[in-house]
Structure 1
Amino acid sequence: MNVKQPYVVTAIAISFVVIVIIISTSSNREVASETTSDDRPDVPKAVSNWPQEELRLGQVSGVAVNSASQPVIFHRPGRSFDQYTFNASSHYQHIADGPITEPTVLTLDPRTGKVVGKWGANFFYMPHGLTIDKHDNMWITDVAMHQGFKFKPGELEPSLVFGEKFQPGSFEKNLCMPTSFAIASTGEIFLADGYCNSRILKFNAAGQLMKVIPNKHEFLSLQIPHGLALLESIDRICIADRENMRVVCPRAGLYGLQGRKEPPLTIQEPDMGKVYDVSVRGNLIYAINGPTSGVIPIVGLTIDPQNEKIIDRWSPPDGGFNLPHAIAVCPNGSSLYVAEINPNKIWKFELVPPK
């Protein structure tokens, strides 16, 4: 009896350890499950019957959100961007038609979608990109004019002009069908240039050229950088690299980090399609693709750039998207907007916790 007692004690001890391990493992799984659920990003949910009244819109090429959480859209009333818009040397073919005579910039009520402000008549020829910075300056590109503009709040004449009017080129003072701006909190300016030059130009706040991305020493090639967004917390400028069917995020060079040499973050998956635009919320990217092939769906994408992967795909109900062109997340993170061409419309999505 005394000989067997140590074995009995040992068996009891082992059983106790096994039970503790099982309980601990189960508990860890529950914690991991809860953490995974909590860490999942908010899901875009289309707002039905928004806008509440029909808007008379041309091709909606740009969307941004101002500090009052109002969506602002940039559209092309009476104009279309098609195969006859430019010649082989990228010169706009309809200068004689003059600028668009209707307002091209519309501010909407975020609750109803009703137009509460409009401007931009008799200035633009072929609207493309719209960005609004934290000071409510509007940064606009016009592909026909081969120019980019900064408009201060309430002003109808630009305070900064990039490019030469109707003069495409690849020199320092020329642009060729520029597509989009991104503005850093430091005031530095990133301009996607664009359909012809496939480069990103970085300027200081006064509009002086600082850098060209990619430079000749970088192992990076862009094909139609169509949209831009800054991830300042990790010093990245993220590019909707449309024809390469990816999002690529090289170093932005902010906050004295210009000397850091790291490869771009690259998000590219077989069903990603042509990426038309990107917007940022926290450390996530919300993006939209466009028509690519019959087997690749046209959807919104939620991207974790630091892990270089798509973590969600989403679209509106009842038919989804047809040709989304631009996306913008509200500064307070409560909603996002998608501008679409054919049909010409604006979508509102609320960002809601996943079920």
Structure 2
Amino acid sequence: MNVKQPYVIAAIAISIVVIVVIIFTSSRKEVSKEEVGAVVADDRPDVPKAVKDWPHEDLKLGQISGVSVNSAFQPVIFHRADRVFDQYTFNATSHFQHIDKGPITEATVLTLDPHTGKVLGRWGDNIFYMPHGLTIDRHENLWITDVAMHQGFKFKPGELEPTLVFGKKFQPGSDVNRLCMPTSFAIASTGEIFLADGYCNSRVLKYNALGKLLKVIPSKDEFLSLQIPHGITLIEPLDRVCIADRENMRVVCPRAGLYSLHGTKDPPLTIQEPDMGKVYDVSSKGTLIYAVNGPTSSLIPIEGLTIDPQTEKIIDRWSPPEGFGLPHAIAVCPNGSSLYVAEIHPNRIWKFELVAPK
């Protein structure tokens, strides 16, 4: 064998590599500043933009405590008609003080046209005493909380009698069978049920699809304290249940434990900033959270918040041109094209289109 042969082969190989690199480099397209900007913009979240003059007419509503969106992309709202939640509603032991007035005689659940805001359907008369939360799952079941009754309900589509009832009517309590002013539901694609309970107990209860209690959040050995979990949403890709921890002025996201118990001991993701204010409700789109705060301090604006729970940061703040009064609930449309914010003062519903950032 010629001793020079390996060197010749190596030289040829190096030459081939150099030629390939030159060809690849010369064929690459130079990326413009505009394209770089487009890439950055694509990574930014959609921005809520208020839809002007929506709804088209005055719906003459009471305090709108809950909002959700069905599979037809129609907003469904839960309002209190002539009832008002104030300092006289409950006594020191959390018992409702106006049972003698009976249930609200007006329809409390209204389905609206997403384009005009016109009322398409209504029900819920002579059932509820003090509406609070409303969630619609992927099967069109309605999950409703009534703080006066200290109960949560599951209603199948078109039915007026609940198929699941949580808590005991007008009986506040902190054991596993009783609730105390529950606020909100979140329903997983696995069928598991999360119920925020609520004003008195400051806990989240996790049930299976049949209503059997699986877990109390926080557990006794968990380093987590809630103070009025006022709203709740699930981010299933992250296996997190995210809670509007109102009086702690934060959003906290412990593990949901939907698919396995692995990681359930991980610390919760916590979003808390000095000017965040009291967070009243949360809704999710993908792995992001859209939230609304409420009156906290004259130094803290009432506004919507876009939150990245993975970085534990607020990444955008938004509000309608007129500003918010007292937002109470928020819901993102299932197709991610819009969101709705319900207020209890003034009593109105806002529609926001979710648009790409400029």
Match of 1:325 among 325, 328, 341: 328
Question: Moved runs in structure 1, 4+ residues, more than 4 A?
Answer: 26-32
Shift of 1:32: 5.2
Shift of 1:30: 6.8
Question: Residues 256 and 264 of structure 2 are in contact (CA less than 8 Å); yes or no, is this contact kept in structure 1?
Answer: no
Give the structure 1 partner of residue 319 of structure 2.
315
Amino acid in the other structure paired with 1:213 = I
Contact 2:67–2:342, Cα closer than 8 Å, also in 1: yes
| SS state at 1:181 partner | strand
Q: Any idea what the Cα deviations from partners look like across 1:136-180, whole Å, max 9, x if unmatched?
A: 000000000000000000000000000000000000100000000
Query: Can you list the C-alpha shifts for 1:227-263, whole angstroms capped at 9, x where unaligned?
Result: 0000000100000000000000000011123554211
Q: Which runs of 5 or more residues in structure 2 are unaligned?
A: 1-27
CA distance in 1, matches of 2:116, 2:263: 47
Q: How does 1:1-355 map to 2 (within 5 A)?
A: 33-257=37-261, 260-318=264-322, 320-355=323-358
Alpha-carbon contact 2:50-2:320 (below 8 Å) kept: yes
Over residues 190-209 of structure 1, what are the superposed CA-to-partner deviations in whole Å (9 max), with x where a residue is unaligned? 00000000000000000000
In 1: Cα distance, 2:35 partner to 2:122 partner: 51
- Shift, 1:29, TM fit: 7.5
**What is the TM-score of this pair, normalised by structure 1?**
0.91
Deviation at 1:38, TM superposition (A): 1.4
Counterpart code for 1:67:
S
Query: Helix, strand or coil for the counterpart of 2:41?
Result: helix
Task: Output the CA distance in 2 between the equivalents of 1:191 and 1:30.
Answer: 46
Give the whole-Å Cα distance in 2 for the aligned partners of 1:87 and 1:240.
Answer: 25
Specify every segment of 5 or more residues in structure 1 that has no aligned partner in the other structure, as ranges.
1-23
Asked if 1 retains the 8 angstrom alpha-carbon contact of 2:281 and 2:330, the reply is yes
Distance in 2 of aligned mates of 1:289 and 1:113: 24
The CA distance in 2 between the partners of 1:343 and 1:97, in whole Å, is 24
Specify the SS of the correspondent of 2:247. Answer: coil
What residue identity is the alignment partner of 1:322? Answer: G
Deviation at 1:27, TM superposition (A): 5.4
Measure, in 1, the Cα distance between the counterparts of 2:351 and 2:225.
Answer: 33
Asked whether the equivalents of residues 255 and 263 of structure 2 are also in contact (C-alpha less than 8 Å), the reply is: no
> Quick one: distance in 1 between partners of 2:76 and 2:264?
36
Structure-2 separation of matches of 1:260 and 1:276 = 25
Structure 2 counterpart of 1:343, one-letter code: P
TM-aligned CA distance change 1:127 to 1:258, over 3 Å: farther
Counterpart residue identity of residue 220, structure 2: K
Question: C-alpha root-mean-square deviation of aligned residues, in Å?
Answer: 1.4
Aligned residues: 330
TM-score, normalized by length of structure 2? 0.90
* Partner deviation per Cα, 1:66-89 (whole Å, 9 max, x = no partner): 000000000000100000000000
Q: 1:314 offset after TM fit, Å?
A: 0.2
How far 1:37 sits from its partner (Å)? 1.5
Which residue identity does 2:72 align to in structure 1? A
User: Do the aligned residues in 1 keep the contact of 2:55 with 2:116 (CA within 8 Å)?
Assistant: yes
CA distance in 1, matches of 2:72, 2:308: 27
Residue type of the partner of 2:344? I
Write the distance in 2 (CA, Å) between the matches of 1:296 and 1:188. 36
Q: After superposition, what is the alpha-carbon deviation per residue over 1:101-141, rounded to whole angstroms, capped at 9, x for unaligned?
A: 00000000001000000000001000000000000000000
